[in-house]
């Protein structure tokens, strides 16, 4: 979603801002803009529809140097994507960039219009610019003006404000939208994601909810929600500097698919030692009678898979719910309940809100399975199990998902151990996890064959995915991947539901993708396959290499490496990721930044 970069420096900062925006492109956006204050105290703003490259070209044609500046990529919420609606927004000497949604913007807009302010955009953000401008008239500093303005705002924001007449500082505020301060030498930075600033610093402080900060070249002063001075520790980032590079790959998504064996090995490091599970770092998992998992999107599918594992292997009751549903209904919390949030970014607005709500409603403990250390979910949970997948740039989640599944299997083992799981089950989990990176490597070997298979989907408008048991969520994830990046309408069904509706859709135009591992449900799945064949459906079956499913007319069979059934959901994810990737490439869509989607959904 929207991205923010800001800097106060002595040198010309424009290229740093543009590079920061490029590094945030993966989040999804529709327009971009920059505002800088130059040595003669002129405020110059450039905004463009479309890509950061268009903005950079415009700036290259008419250079606009300056040492203090703010930049933004916008993902439209209020007001269509257009140059007028792009950030920064300006009011008099004030320029503002903002992530989030100001919920009382209509009331504030009316009030400001009555006071003579003219609006030039349809955005909610423009009220912030006018409010700060108004408050500055009665304030002694930009800091005080921003503090006064934010007390009038309802909703979510991460914002950065600069003032033409006071060029050596920016004031930033956070409520519901992440901001990270980058510490430089004789210069300082702000961004919505540390990735944006990795070329200029590795030292970061995360702002907390309600924080306001005044940033100059040499000083960072932070104040908490009550406007009291606060200290936010600085951390050295260990994210690779070139995390944004595609290397030899054409797309980030493919690079990230290929990174999965290493990413999973990283998830397991120190947690699976000498073939034995080392689960101390999971914290206290004793006395848990109920697990509630909360997540969105792909992370929700990881949670759905884990429910099968937690109930079957750990013997603990488990519910899974989409965060946006959970947060707006009354749910019953049983004693001794563990809340598990799952999130790649750790900043998804609904998941974060669900965690905060759950903390008020009596959950015993809250653990997050998350990929971003220092993210809001990690900081606000009692425990964090980091997935260590490395930066994921492609909007469609791949390595974040399989590492979430790996972490969730570790959590299952931890819960099981605390709940009296027998030694055999624990050894089985350890052995399955130990073999996983090599198995994933083998599954990647299916790439060439899947590329050929993808040709069959290029002209299709719909697809149906079928799975059973813990492979049903994998079918859902396969359908999500296909729709996200190839724009083919795809649905997933638990195969047993076939007769209750989707069978009516089957004809020769409807490809049906079946995930068929080697477990006790296979005979039932084979009957489902026959039901589809009998109606002329075109089948694509991903089946364990040891299974005797023979290719037939209208039925292609792809052999998947044999593995222990408990870990099969992770393995079968791979061919489905590769399939959606190749279909998208054939269709010529924007694989890494699919239309209308955002990587990190920081507004509800």
The helix/strand/coil state of 486 is helix
Shortest distance, CB of residue 530 to ligand G6P, whole angstroms? 34
Is residue 345 close enough to count as binding ligand G6P by CB under 6 A?
yes
| Residue with smaller CB distance to ligand G6P, 8 or 195 | 195
- Closer to ligand G6P by CB, 205 or 600: give it: 600
Segment contacting ligand G6P (CB under 6 A): 92-100, 158-166, 182-190, 343-351?
343-351
Cβ at position 330, least distance to ligand G6P in Å:
23
Q: CA 214 → CA 173, 179, 353, distances in Å?
A: 9, 13, 27
Angle formed by the axes of helices 568-587 and 472-486, nearest 10°: 20
* Strand arrangement, sheet containing 290-295: 317-322, 290-295, 337-343, 365-370, 383-386
Could you tell me the smallest distance in angstroms from the CB atom of residue 547 to ligand G6P? 31
Cα distances (angstroms) measured from residue 77 to each of 29, 355, 564, 596: 11, 24, 46, 11
DSSP 128: H
Q: According to the binding rule CB under 6 A, does residue 293 interact with ligand G6P?
A: no
Residue 370 or 543: the one with the smaller Cβ distance to ligand G6P is 370
Near ligand G6P by CB under 6 A, which window of 111-119, 124-132, 183-191, 592-600? Answer: 592-600
Place of tokens 């790996």: 406
Among the listed residues 237, 267, 344, 398, the single contact to ligand G6P using CB under 6 A = 344
297 binds ligand G6P (CB under 6 A): yes
Catalytic residues: 2, 599
Q: Which of 175, 194, 305, 343 binds ligand G6P (CB under 6 A)?
A: 343
Smaller CB separation from ligand G6P, 91 or 298? 298
How many amino acids of this chain bind ligand G6P (CB under 6 A)? 15
Pick from 143, 600, 602, 603: which binds ligand G6P (CB under 6 A)? 600
Does the footprint of ligand G6P cover residue 123 (CB under 6 A)?
Answer: no
Q: Minimum CB separation from ligand G6P for residue 262, in Å?
A: 20
To ligand G6P, the closest distance from the beta carbon of 392 in angstroms equals 8
Gap between the Cα atoms of 4 and 1, Å rounded: 10
Binders of ligand G6P in range 346-365 (CB under 6 A)? 348, 351
Q: Which of 30, 17, 38 is nearest to 160 (CA)?
A: 17
CA distances from 244 to 24, 127, 346 (A): 9, 34, 19
Which residues 423-462 are close enough to bind ligand G6P by CB under 6 A?
A: none
Q: Please, is 125 exposed, middle or buried when counting C-beta atoms within 10 Å of its C-beta (0-12, 13-18, 19+)? A: buried
Q: Which region, judged by CB under 6 A, interacts with ligand G6P, from 226-234, 290-298, 305-313, 575-583? A: 290-298
Q: Say how far apart CA 276 and CA 118 lie, in whole Å.
A: 66
Q: Closest distance between ligand G6P and the C-beta of residue 594, in Å?
A: 8
Single out the segment in contact with ligand G6P by CB under 6 A; choices: 11-19, 226-234, 345-353, 569-577.
Answer: 345-353
Residue nearest to ligand G6P (CB): 297
Binding segment for ligand G6P (CB under 6 A), chosen from 278-286, 295-303, 421-429, 430-438, is 295-303
Of the pair 440, 601, the CB lying nearest ligand G6P is at 601
- Is 602 a binding residue for ligand G6P by CB under 6 A? The answer is no
Per CB under 6 A, 395 contacts ligand G6P: yes
Query: How far is residue 169 from each of residues 13, 175, 320, measured CA to CA in Å?
Result: 14, 20, 46
304 binds ligand G6P (CB under 6 A): no
Strands 31-37 and 68-74, sheet pairing: antiparallel
Which 8-state DSSP code applies to residue 314? I
Facing residues of 189 across strands? 7, 182
Select from 124, 132, 115 the least CA-distant residue to 87: 124
Q: Does 601 bind ligand G6P (CB under 6 A)?
A: yes
CA atoms within 13 A on the CB side of 365: 18
Locate 166 and state its tokens.
């006071």
For 408-459, the DSSP string reads HHHHHHHHHHHTT--HHHHHHHHHHHHHHHHHHHHHHTTHHHHHHHHGGGTT
Residue partners of 76: CB distance under 8 A and separation at least 6: 30, 31, 85
Residue closer to ligand G6P by CB (options 298, 402) is 298
- Give least dist CB 366 to ligand G6P, A: 15
387 in contact with ligand G6P (CB under 6 A):
no
Q: Which one of the spans 206-214, 341-349, 414-422, 556-564 is the region binding ligand G6P (CB under 6 A)?
A: 341-349
Confirm or reject binding of residue 296 to ligand G6P (CB under 6 A). Answer: yes
Element (H, E) at 7: strand 3-8
486 contributes a contact to ligand G6P by CB under 6 A: no
Q: How far apart are CA 205 and CA 211, in angstroms?
A: 12
Closest contact distance (angstroms) between CB of 355 and ligand G6P is: 11
Does residue 298 touch ligand G6P according to CB under 6 A? yes
> Binding of ligand G6P at residue 599 (CB under 6 A)?
yes
Q: Which of 397, 398, 471, 573 binds ligand G6P (CB under 6 A)?
A: 397
Shortest Cβ distance from residue 591 to ligand G6P (Å)?
Answer: 13
Tokens linked to 474: 């994998």
* H-helix or E-strand spanning residue 196: none
| Residues forming beta bridges with residue 61, ordered by sequence position | none
Contact residues for ligand G6P (CB under 6 A)? 296-299, 343-345, 348, 351, 395, 397, 597, 599-601
């Amino acid at each position: 979603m929207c991205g923010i970069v800001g800097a106060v420096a002595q040198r010309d900062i424009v290229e740093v801002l543009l590079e920061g925006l490029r590094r945030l492109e993966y989040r999804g956006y529709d327009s971009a803009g920059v505002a800088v204050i130059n040595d003669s105290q002129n405020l110059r703003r450039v905004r463009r529809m479309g890509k950061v490259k268009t903005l950079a070209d415009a700036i290259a044609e008419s250079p606009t140097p300056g040492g203090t500046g703010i930049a933004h990529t916008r993902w439209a919420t209020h007001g269509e994507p257009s140059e007028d609606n792009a950030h920064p927004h300006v009011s008099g000497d004030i320029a503002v960039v903002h992530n989030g949604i100001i919920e009382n913007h209509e009331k504030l807009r009316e009030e400001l219009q009555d006071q003579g302010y003219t609006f030039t955009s349809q955005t909610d953000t423009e009220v912030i610019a006018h409010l700060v401008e108004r408050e500055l008239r009665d304030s002694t500093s930009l800091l005080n003006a921003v503090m006064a303005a934010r007390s009038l705002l309802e909703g979510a924001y991460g914002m950065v404000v600069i003032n033409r007449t006071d060029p050596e500082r920016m004031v930033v505020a956070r409520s519901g939208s992440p901001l990270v301060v980058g510490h430089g030498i004789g210069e300082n930075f702000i961004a919505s994601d540390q990735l944006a600033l990795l070329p200029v610093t590795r030292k970061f402080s995360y702002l907390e909810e309600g924080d306001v900060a005044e940033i100059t070249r040499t000083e960072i002063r932070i104040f908490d929600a009550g406007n009291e001075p606060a200290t936010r520790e600085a951390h050295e980032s260990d994210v690779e500097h070139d995390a944004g590079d595609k290397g030899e790959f054409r797309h980030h998504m493919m690079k990230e698919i290929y990174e999965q064996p290493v990413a999973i090995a990283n998830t397991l490091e120190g947690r699976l030692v000498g073939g034995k599970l080392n689960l101390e770092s999971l914290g206290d998992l004793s006395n848990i009678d109920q697990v509630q998992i909360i997540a969105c999107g792909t992370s929700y599918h990881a949670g759905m898979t884990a429910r099968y594992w937690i109930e079957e292997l750990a013997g603990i009751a488990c519910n899974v719910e989409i965060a946006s549903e959970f947060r707006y209904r009354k749910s019953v919390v049983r004693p001794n309940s563990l809340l598990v949030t799952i999130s790649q970014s750790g900043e998804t607005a609904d998941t974060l809100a669900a965690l905060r709500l759950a903390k008020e409603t009596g959950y015993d403990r809250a653990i997050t399975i998350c990929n971003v250390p220092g993210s809001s979910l990690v900081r606000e949970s009692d425990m964090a199990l980091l997935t260590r997948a490395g930066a994921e740039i492609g909007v469609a989640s791949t390595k974040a998902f399989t590492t979430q599944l790996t972490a969730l299997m570790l959590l299952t083992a931890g819960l099981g151990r605390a709940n009296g799981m027998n030694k055999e089950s624990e050894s089985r989990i350890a052995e399955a996890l130990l073999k996983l990176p090599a198995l994933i490597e083998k599954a990647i070997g299916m790439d060439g064959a899947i590329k050929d298979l993808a040709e069959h989907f290029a002209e299709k408008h719909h697809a149906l995915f079928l799975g059973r048991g813990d492979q049903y969520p994998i079918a859902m994830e396969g359908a999500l991947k296909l729709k996200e990046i190839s724009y083919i309408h795809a649905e997933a069904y638990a195969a047993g539901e076939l007769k209750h509706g989707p069978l009516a859709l089957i004809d020769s135009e409807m490809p049906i993708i079946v995930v068929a591992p080697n477990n006790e449900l296979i005979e039932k799945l084979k009957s489902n396959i026959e039901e589809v064949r009998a109606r002329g459906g075109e089948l694509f079956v991903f089946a364990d290499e040891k299974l005797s499913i023979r290719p037939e007319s209208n039925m292609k069979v792809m052999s998947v490496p044999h593995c222990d059934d408990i870990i099969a959901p992770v393995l079968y994810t791979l061919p489905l990721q590769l399939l959606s990737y190749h279909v998208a490439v054939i269709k010529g869509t924007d694989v890494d930044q699919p239309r209308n989607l955002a990587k990190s959904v920081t507004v509800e």
